[in-house]
Every structure is written in C-alpha cells, then in structure tokens.
Structure 1
Amino acid sequence: MASVAKLASELIRRPSRAGIDDYRPVLSVLEDWLAARSLPHRRLHGSSGELVGLLVEIPGGRPGTWWALDACVDTAPYGDESAWSFSPTSGDIRGNWLLGRGAADSKLAAAMFCHIAADLMPRAEALHGGLAVLLDVDEHTGGFGGARAYLADPQAARPTGVMIGYPGLDEVVVGGRGLWRSTIAVHAPSGHSGASRTVVGAISRAAHLVRLLDAAELPGADAASGFPLPPKLSVTALHGGQGFSTTPDRCDLNIDVRTTPAFDAYDAETLIRKAVSELDAELPAPKPTEITPVASWPPFRLADDDQPGAALLTAAAEAGLAVRAKTAGPSNIGNLLAAEGIPATAGFGLPYEGLHGIDERAHLAELPKVYSVYQRAVLRLLRAG
C-alpha cells in the first residue's frame, strides 16, 4: 500500500483546482506511472478539444461486459490558505493521515484504482469483458467532461456499471437525488429611489417570488418507493441593482430543486412556473418573468441485487466491514450515468476530514482493507462474465 500512498502524494503536490489550474501536470504524473507499467491508456478530450481526463482499458480474454472504476483528479479550491495548518499541496503523511487537497476527493482513489488495474493486467486473459479506469479532471466544475467524453467515445466499450471512488468508510452510496435547475429573470419598471411615485422594483418583486417559493409545499419522503429522501427547493443566488439611487428593472435568481422518483423534473418545473404565474398576477410588470432551465438530472437508486452495488457491498461484508447502502442528498456523476442507463455506486473509500474545506486529509490505516474490497468487487464482476 506504500506505492498507492506515494502516487497519491505526487498527485496532491500538483495543484489541479477545477477551473483554476492547468490539469496537464497532474495527468502527466498518471501517464508516467501507467506507461512505466505498460498499462494501456489514452487521453480524453472534450467537445472543444480540451483535455478532460485519461482512460485506462484492460480487456479480458473472454467475452463479457465491461465495468469501470472512476476517480477525479481535479479538486475543489483551497479557500483561505492562511487557515490551513499545512500546505494544501502538502502530500505528506503524518500519523497515518495523508495531507492536502484531493487526499479525500479523490486523488487517493485514483492512485488506488490505477494499482488495481496494474494488479489485474497479468490475469486479464482469464477474465470476462474488461475493466476501464476513468481518471477525469472536469468533475468539480460540475461539467463532468471526463465522464461525458468517455461515454461519447466510439472506441470505448460502454460500461455495464461504474464504481466512483468518493470517500467514506461506513457507506456505499447506491443512489442520489436528482436535480432541476433554472435561472429566473424578474422584471420591473426602473426608477429613482427618491421619486415621489412608488415603484415596485425588480428586487422587491424577486423577494416576493422567494417568499412564494419558500412557502411552496413539497411532498415528503415516499417510503413505499424505496427512496428515503424528500425533494428540496433552494434559492441559491439573487443578483440585481447597483448603487443606491436607482430601483433596478431586472433581478436574476438561481433556483435549485433536488428531485426524487415521486417529484421529478416535470413536477419541479411545474411548481416553479406556478409560483412565477402567481408573482406576475399579484405584482404585474411590463414584462413577464422569464424562466430558463439550465440542468436536469434524474434521481437514481440501485436495488439490493443490482450491480455493481451488490458486488461492492458483498466485498465489504467479506472484509469484515459494517457498511450500509445510502442514498445521497447531493447529486454526483452517478446521476449523469443514471441518465445514460448505467448503474453506479458513488462512494466508498477511506475515512476523511476537511472535504472541500480546510485541512483536507484521508486516513491511511484503512487503505489495505478498502483496496481489497474494490479488488474483490472487480474480480467478482469480471469472473461472472
């Protein structure tokens, strides 16, 4: 396991903040490591030609389905670096903790999955189908360019299922709420804030819309559906106006709705449009309020016997771990895969602290056990054909 930790350390020492840093240095570390072990790999590019990841492909010697391991090597930003007790690009190991941004999410998983591919290579002839390892660098942007490029690549075998290496030792994430997102442009007449005539400005109209949305009734969790989480609506941004003397003629809102099987994207859009219609009826304006949908992903939840979740949970139990299946509140690449009809797990890994925050670190004492669980799960899938 020292080799896994060493590779992860080298990755952490190459800054790869999403949308900020050049991804080529961190991917070059992986390319050098893979090339030194003669593991077949290639670069993936987005629709504009940008580098979005690496794909490792280990074909089996017998016919069968392909499975994939996925870990991102881009990261969240550092935040206030002066608040860290060590460098965000440390990569050091102190008291069994691997330190630095990406230690938890998800450079350690990337290093682990590369080693699993290397372990698998000498015995691939006896296995069915094949194993792909996706190492993507467009995850924390929310664009998921690496996953999209992988699925769109005509040369790549389409995976039957994917295991995503997000951290956390106690749970295998087998589901997640979906989302429906939109921007809303609220209009109003502009005017001078000191004018004798009262003007209901765009900000006031937007505030009224926020109150309508906050008061909207959403269904609770539907236990009968097997999906344990309720839907959720959030206003995540509000922008409008400048200075003090003018009431603005436009205010823009961002709306995020987390969806479930019982409250899907259609229901979310219907609720938003109803609130907007109420706003325009109660506080008329010269121009109707505009809704622009920007993203929609379905919720997903694997059944108990669905692969690859069943293989991962079984392997964890065989390793003596008390691991439960979990449906996550946030969305993730698993939702993107669900939209493509590809089942996925989206989390099982090492214990961690500071994910996306200050002093991110991952605990290495459990690395041998986590590694063994993923390796067993992969072998079970590839031996089954």
Structure 2
Amino acid sequence: MTEDLVVHAAARSASVVRLAQELIRRASRGGLDGYGPVLSVLENWLSAHSLPHRRLHDEAGDLVGLLVEIAGGQPGPWWTLDACVDTAPFGDEEAWSFSPVAGDIVGGFLRGRGAADSKLAAAMYCHIAADLLPVADGMCGGLAVLLDVDEHTGGFGGARAYLNDPQAVTPAGVMIGYPGMDDVVVGGRGLWRATLTVAAESGHSGSSRKVLGAVSRAARLIRLLDTADLPGPPGAGTLFALPPKLSVTAVHGGEGFSVTPDRCDVNVDVRTTPAFGADDAEALVRQVAAELDAELPGPAATRVTSVASWPPFQLQPHEQPAAAMLDAAACLGITVRAKTAGPSNIGNLLAGRGISATAGFGVPYSGLHGIDERASLAELPQVYAVYHRAVLTLLHTP
C-alpha cells in the first residue's frame, strides 16, 4: 500500500500545486482582506470534483470557512484535516524579493504569502478528500476537511464555527496542516493573557510638583514582570519539555508631551504548561501587581483584567491521531519526532473541547510570517502520502 500511495501522491502533486498557486494569488491577510475570493477558488474546485461542502459563518454572519464532509458507509468516529487559508500580513513589501502574491515556482519552491502557512496544505487536503470520495462506502465514521479563515487574527472564527455547528459531527481528532517536516507536533503550550491597568495622578509635565505618572509606574511594573520567578524546564526525558514563559507585549499610555498620564495599560502574555497553568499565571501576575502597588503606591490598585486563556495540550505518541501520523511517516521511511511546540495554535482551542490534535507536519519552508515566504515542493509527494495513509488508517479503509 505504501508504494502505491507514494506513486499516487507524485501523480497528484502537480494538481495540488496548481490549486495552491491560485490560492496564493488571492490575498487573504487575516483581518485585512476579504475572504470571499480565496474561498471562492476552493468552492469552485470542490464543486468541480463533486465534493460535498458548505460555508461556515460566525455569530455575526460573516463567512469564516468551508467544510467538506465525507460520510463513511460504516459507523465510527470522524476525523478532520484542517488548514487555514487566511495568512499573516505581508509586512514591508519593499523588503520582499518577489510579490507576496506571486504564486510562482522558482528553484523548486512555491513562493508567496501562504505558501507555507497553509495554502499548500489546504490544496493537499482537498485532493485527499477527492481520493476518498469514491471509496467512502468502505470507510468507518467519516472525514471532514476544514478550510478556515480568521486564524491569523487569533480569533479562530472558522474553527469555532465548525465546533459550534449543530450539523457537524464532533471529530475524535484533528490533523492541522502547519508546515515543517522534522516533527509531528503533538502538543503546545497554553496561554493566559491579561491587561494590567496602572493608575496615577495626572498633572502638567511642567508643574513644580513632582508627579510620578502612570507610564513611569508601568515601566517599573514591566521590570518586575520581566524578572518574575517562573519554573524552569522540566527534567530530561519529559515529552512536555518546555518551561512557562512570560512576555510583556504592548504598552499604551499617555499622549503628547505636556500631560503626565493618569493611566497606562500593559498587555501580558503567559505561556502555560501542565505544571504551570492559567491559575498559576494569574496568581503570579497579581502578585507582581501587588508588589508594584506596595513599592510605588498609586491612587488605585493596579487592575488585572484577564482577556484569554487556553489550556496546554499534549498527546502521547501512542494516542490518535498522533500514532497514525507517526506510523505513516515511519512506513515511508521518514524520520520524525513527536514534538511539543512553544507557540499556541488551534490545537489548544480543540483541547479545550476535549478533541485530540496534531498541529504540524508538512513540507520544509522559509519566511513563514516573514519576508519571502516559500514552501519546498520536492517533499510534497511524501507529505501527501503520509497524510493519505494516516487518514486511511484512522478510517479503517483497506
């Protein structure tokens, strides 16, 4: 079976690349571009290949993705392939050596924003769905392909719409098509985010009376946060080998020059682990805020407003769908490791719903979220065959 899948994947690669090129040529930056054009390309392809699909909308009625659903002829769990088709912003376009929407192939690389993350994966998943459609009667459960947008905004509108859709079957597991061929990502740190509001007396910057403004108090707060004592990495041999991490990500306060501000807001992002969760993160940040107020008292206590929280997640290598992915790679002679990633991703959202996920195995790449994004095409047949075999295993298809 393995050899046949590799031959088949090689034959499908040209079509996968053509679809990915069309997707890259439709700008779909999260929160900046409309998603209609890029999703229309997918709708046209899915319709031409008789794949059942429908649009997903968020609570406001905005289009946030497409869902392909292929029901098997036998009972069993459903599994999902997920790839986002919105992208990161272009950044400084003058720094690119080619157009961010080039969608061309140079030196064996597909070029343009979204080539790596994750329009090539979206095109591949559509083709795998088309491969399974003729043999659906022999499948147990079913396969869904989620082609979502609103991912790079951090809102994950497409994934949320899918999970909240009463017509959709809740999947037993999801395989997310982030790029990178060295690892099958089986976990990720969680997060706890908050805004800290620092208060002070306002006044004229030229006043003879010394006033410690909110920005100055916030500067001390940031120093306390940056030096806060967090647990170190766990011991050797632990699959979840990453420590927690605290970052100050934004500061907003003051205006002009003549007024000492009475308010400054500080955004804090804490990446959490199984040993240091959201409650621990909140307790630490509140303790630091209390230290500031004791050291440099203000007219009001520093306010901590939690804005987001996701749990960390981690699959053991023997758990599905991680096991199917790792086994498929091994059968094709690809050496990969099970990895827990530092950044959070849709896998964290899924973990909060009790749904297992892998969050990355794909082609090699460069420039992801940076300039000159591109994806290597030489390895595409192998990656295609790994996902194809994994899905067949999960659906118990001969």
Q: Is the shorter-chain TM-score for this pair beyond 0.5, marking a shared fold? A: yes
1:66 partnered with 2:78: yes
SS at match of 1:159: coil
How far apart, in 2, do the equivalents of 1:305 and 1:73 lie? Answer: 30
Q: Look up the match of 1:267.
A: 280
Q: How big is each residue's C-alpha offset from its partner over 1:9-45, in whole Å with a ceiling of 9 and x where there is no partner?
A: 0000111011111100100000000001110000000
Q: Look up the match of 1:29.
A: 41
1:347 partnered with 2:360: yes
Q: Look up the match of 1:210.
A: 222
Correspondence 1:1-385 to 2 at 5 A = 1-223=13-235, 226-383=239-396
Counterpart residue type for residue 75 of structure 2: P
What's the Cα RMSD here? Answer: 1.1
How far apart, in 1, do the equivalents of 2:16 and 2:239 lie? Answer: 37
Q: How big is each residue's C-alpha offset from its partner over 1:244-288, in whole Å with a ceiling of 9 and x where there is no partner?
A: 222110111000000001100000000011111111122111122
SS at match of 2:33: coil
SS at match of 2:167: coil
Q: Retained in 1: the 8 A contact 2:239–2:340?
A: no
How far apart, in 2, do the equivalents of 1:199 and 1:126 lie? Answer: 75
Counterpart residue type for residue 280 of structure 1: D
Q: How big is each residue's C-alpha offset from its partner over 1:108-160, in whole Å with a ceiling of 9 and x where there is no partner?
A: 00000000000000011111000000000110000001000000001001000
Q: Report how far residue 222 of structure 1 moved.
A: 2.3
Counterpart residue type for residue 262 of structure 2: D
Of 221-230 and 139-148, the range deviating more from structure 2: 221-230
How far apart, in 1, do the equivalents of 2:111 and 2:397 lie? Answer: 38
SS at match of 1:238: strand
The change in CA–CA distance for 1:231 and 1:86 in structure 2 (over 3 A counts) is: same
How far apart, in 1, do the equivalents of 2:223 and 2:111 lie? Answer: 43
SS at match of 1:140: coil
Counterpart residue type for residue 134 of structure 2: P
Q: Report how far residue 226 of structure 1 moved.
A: 3.7
How far apart, in 1, do the equivalents of 2:258 and 2:371 lie? Answer: 40
Counterpart residue type for residue 201 of structure 1: G
Q: Retained in 2: the 8 A contact 1:225–1:261?
A: no
SS at match of 1:52: strand
Of 56-65 and 208-217, the range deviating more from structure 2: 208-217
SS at match of 2:265: strand
How far apart, in 1, do the equivalents of 2:317 and 2:44 lie? Answer: 39
Q: Retained in 2: the 8 A contact 1:235–1:254?
A: yes
Counterpart residue type for residue 113 of structure 1: Y
SS at match of 1:383: coil
How far apart, in 2, do the equivalents of 1:358 and 1:137 lie? Answer: 21
Q: Which runs of 5+ in 1 are unaligned?
A: none
Aligned residues: 385
Q: Retained in 2: the 8 A contact 1:222–1:262?
A: no
Q: Report how far residue 297 of structure 1 moved.
A: 0.3
In the TM superposition, structure 1's runs of 4+ consecutive aligned residues that sit over 3 Å from their partners are: 223-226
SS at match of 1:269: helix
Q: Report how far residue 384 of structure 1 moved.
A: 7.4
How far apart, in 2, do the equivalents of 1:361 and 1:326 lie? Answer: 23
Q: How big is each residue's C-alpha offset from its partner over 1:36-69, in whole Å with a ceiling of 9 and x where there is no partner?
A: 1110000000010000000000101000000000
Q: Retained in 2: the 8 A contact 1:221–1:227?
A: no
How far apart, in 1, do the equivalents of 2:251 and 2:103 lie? Answer: 38
Q: Which runs of 5+ in 2 are unaligned?
A: 1-12
Counterpart residue type for residue 58 of structure 2: G
